Amino acid sequence: MTLTDQHIAFISNNLDFYGLKNNDLKEDLLDHICTHIENSNEHDFETAYKKAIHEFGGHLNLNHIEHQTNLQLYFNASKNRNRLLFLMSYISAACILLGIVFKFMHWPFASILLVVGFAFLIFLTLPIYFYSRYKDRIIKYQS
Amino acid sequence: MYLKNMYISRMYSKELTKGTLQPIILKLLSEHDKMYGYEITQKVKELTKGKIDISEGALYPILHKLENKKVLETEKVYIGKRIRKYYSVTKSGKHVIEEQTKQINDFIDTLSLIFNPKTS
């Protein structure tokens, strides 16, 4: 059967309604469902649509697909963020601790080490830490 | 006899096919110029006589991941009111596919060492 613009809008709205937030994925799924219906032998849109959704494993499965996609997409990004966070934490901790030791011993450059260490901590480590917490929470919410 | 045939002709279990889906998708895409999601599922069904059925639930997460990794690129084509996304392999993706094809061929050989020890 051929689909009218209204049918396509109906399917698109339905995908929105069932909580699909990733737009790229939505375009893919919309086209998939439409092609599936167009290739089916049904003449009635209602039954063809129901059948198509049934083959998908129901509406619940749509959310599952999105969840899986998000996991696959953001896994590497999250890993890289964590690596950066560890590195930055190490640098700031090392600078501050060395600065303290230097200060005890009255060695030169103690203040520079302390300033660099705190600068790293305040301007890099902490922002990255909060950003990565924020990102992880967003992903959890989306999927 | 009936039971024996049933296990041969039926679809493979999800656990069994799970790890092979990505190499299958990549191989298909490398042999074709560009394909869209529905076309891929149908092609796999046709080639394997329905024994391997890539579900949408497995297909799209893999496609999006590969696009994100720059192995695949997409081309959007408007069909009436909706968008169809054609997936194709990027230049850097070709190396990944070669590697994976090699690996899976090796894997098949290794499996036959275990399951068909007489023939080797």
Q: B65 — contact with chain A (CB < 8 Å)? A: yes
Reported confidence tier of residue B119, pLDDT bands at 50, 70, 90: low
Do the chains contact at A57 and B55, CB–CB below 8 Å? yes
Reported confidence tier of residue A141, pLDDT bands at 50, 70, 90: low
Token digits for B93?
Answer: 């993706």
Q: A73 — contact with chain B (CB < 8 Å)? A: yes
Q: How many domains does chain B have?
A: 1
Largest CA distance in chain B: 58
The pLDDT of residue B86 is above 90: yes
Parent domain of B30: 2-115
Measured CA to CA, the distance from residue A61 to residue A54 in angstroms comes to 10
Compare CB distances from A30 to B55, B64, B82 and report the shortest one's residue. Answer: B82
Write the CATH number for B42.
1.10.10.10
Average pLDDT rounded to a whole number, residues A16-41: 85
Measured CA to CA, the distance from residue A32 to residue A52 in angstroms comes to 9
Reported confidence tier of residue B1, pLDDT bands at 50, 70, 90: very low
The pLDDT of residue B57 is above 50: yes
State ipTM.
0.77
Q: Provide DSSP, A7-64.
A: HHHHHHHHHHHTT---HHHHHHHHHHHHHHHHHSS---HHHHHHHHHHHHTHHHHHHH
Do the chains contact at A65 and B56, CB–CB below 8 Å? yes
pLDDT tens, residue by residue, A66-109: 888 887 777 778 888 899 999 999 999 999 999 999 999 999 99
Q: What is the pTM of this model?
A: 0.71
Domain boundaries, chain A: 5-56, 75-142
Q: Collect all residues of chain B within an 8 Å Cβ-Cβ radius of residue A56.
A: 56-57
Instruction: Evaluate whether B86 touches A35 at the Cβ level (below 8 Å).
Output: no
- How many CB contacts within 8 angstroms connect chain A with chain B? 68
3-state secondary structure of B15: helix
Q: B61 — contact with chain A (CB < 8 Å)? A: yes
